[in-house]
Chains A and B, each alone.
Chain A
Amino acid sequence: MSTFTEKELEKHLKMYIPDQDPDPNFVKDLENKLVMMERRRSITRKWSRYVSLIGGFAAIFLLMVWIISSHGQQWVANHLTALNDHERTALKTNGNLKGESEFHGVYAGDSEPKTIQEKMLNAIDNYENIKGKFHIVHKELELDNMVEFEISEGDKPGSYVVVKGTDGRILTEYRSDGKSFLFMDHLERKYQWEPVSNPGPIPEGPRYFVDEKGQHIWITRPDPARAYSAHDVTFPQDYAFWLTDPSNYKITGHEKYLGRDVAVIEGQNQPYMAKKHDAPYFKMWVDTETGVLLKLIATDKNNQVSNSIEVLSLAIDQGVDRTKFSTKAPEDWREMTGPISTGNNRVITQ
């Protein structure tokens, strides 16, 4: 049997297995399909590029907004000291003020805001006696009074507080000698007298917390001298609670006020406090040694002053006239019964 070589097979293979032309319709259809797909892919690629580009710009824009919102306004608030109060308040309206943790070392030591709050909460421990006068306006309580006070704390508590109207007339008067308490209504010429008992222990533990029911609890401590209407200045516990959240306020400066070293604090109130006092924003001047409040400007959401305090004169540990603490009732006045109004209109959950 004859055979053939590989070379011969290779040579003849193409002849026995010839190429053939594919169906022209198939060729045309496939070409059209490929061209269409290529166009679609090209458009998709272009859009992808545009989307990536837009996404990139958006990311940069958002980053800038974030940087400006978190640092820029703080920088402005910190450095443009020439801003007036109105402008500062407007600035605060547009951005959250940050607390000490984000302004590490810019002003006083890190612990200063906490220290000031502690001093405000326990101001009566920081002086022996205090004397002065202040003007207080509280829009919501329709209060516009001048308050004069002489107070002794420590071992011999006693107080003399006179509240006058804008016309200079005395409205109410409070006196305490540590053993008894006298309230006098000058308009009605009525008085009320009662013995006082031990004010109780100084509260221990945190003065603010949220209980298991989610209620905000503020703990106030009693004042043995019972100088109630003067507490806004001499024992400003209520305003100390405005400084509970360090991220809501900051110390923006230090000044001299009536010869005293004061820290200027600016911030936003927590929603509960803001609503209660109609004061979302505040600025306060606090005596750094004692925690006594020397000035307060609280503004409402319309940037109107809703609550203000301004101490006009102040003498700390310079002595007081204890004869004014006498609780002897005037003989020709009518005696009242029932609970004595302390002039403390604020409700603190205890």
Chain B
Amino acid sequence: MYEEKYPQHDISRIYQTYYKDVYNFLFHFTGDKNNAEDLTQETFLRILKSLSNYSGKSSLKTWVFSVAKHVALDHYRRKKFTSVLSGINFLKNIPSTEGIPEMKVEHGEVRHLVHQALLALKPNYRAVIILRALRELSIKETAEILGCSESKVKVDYHRALKKLQQEIGLEGGLECLPSLKKS
């Protein structure tokens, strides 16, 4: 049995270790706090059910993220034409920046624009940006999670950033992004 083979990988430990990563991955992917909570729960339920099938070939971290990615993509397919792409409620669920007053004052609108731009990307690009830029995973880990080659991760990441750059530029213009503006 899995528990006998990997006693350190009981569901409680896995949850304690990765719940923040999973939650934020899903929050950034959906842009909605309630959706992120629902999908986090679904992710860990799937992990619990399939824990005995975990072979240990990949790291536990990438395996957990790959489960979260499947959950996110399933959600995206279900909500394709509604909340995921609309971004209607995005502002209501923008992350709190309390404790960082200068960001709240100066860059509140910028955060909104960047988030909207991220949500406007197609799911694959969104996922690769979240994993690489926000979760700071390596190319190898990202490739394992997305189930593709490392070179494809590189290409997709490059294209995703380019697309994001275009989205931000189109939406608000560079002048409103002081910290991103080339000095």
Give residues in A with beta carbon < 8 Å to B: 1-6, 8-10, 12-23, 26-27, 30-31, 33-35, 37-38, 41-42, 45
Contacts and interface: CB of A to CB of B under 8 A. Distances in A.
Given A1-B174, A31-B15, A31-B16, 18 more contacts: A3-B174, A4-B181, A5-B182, A8-B182, A9-B161, A12-B179, A14-B134, A19-B95, A19-B134, A22-B20, A22-B40, A27-B19, A30-B44, A31-B12, A34-B48, A35-B12, A37-B48, A38-B10
Contact of A34 (B15, B27, B33): B15
A21 B22 CA distance: 11
A261 to B, nearest CB: 69
A38 B12 contact: yes
Contacts of A33: 41
Nearest to B100: A18
Q: Give the size range of B's interface with the partner.
A: 35 or more
A16 B107 contact: yes
A8 B27 CA distance: 23
Nearest to A8: B180
B129 A13 contact: yes
Contacts of B110: 16
Interface string B18-51: 0110011001100001001100110011001000
List the 7 shortest-distance A-B pairs measured between CB atoms, nearest first: A20-B95, A16-B114, A6-B161, A22-B23, A19-B24, A13-B133, A4-B180
A20 B107 contact: no
A66 to B, nearest CB: 33
A147 B95 CA distance: 116
Nearest to A26: B37
Contact of B1 (A1, A12, A35, A45): A45
A16 to B, nearest CB: 4
B182 A21 contact: no
A27 B37 CA distance: 9
A19 B20 contact: yes
B182 A3 contact: yes
A1 B176 CA distance: 12
B37 A4 contact: no
A79 to B, nearest CB: 49
A23 B40 CA distance: 12
B69 interface: no
B11 A13 contact: no
Nearest to B51: A38
Contacts of A9: 161, 164-165, 168, 180
B133 A37 contact: no
Contacts of A19: 20, 24, 95, 134
B107 A30 contact: no
A6 B129 contact: no
B41 A30 contact: yes
A38 B111 CA distance: 39
Given A10-B161, A13-B129, A2 B134 contact: no
A56 B181 CA distance: 73
Contacts of A12: 179-180
Contacts of B15: 30-31, 34
A5 B164 CA distance: 11
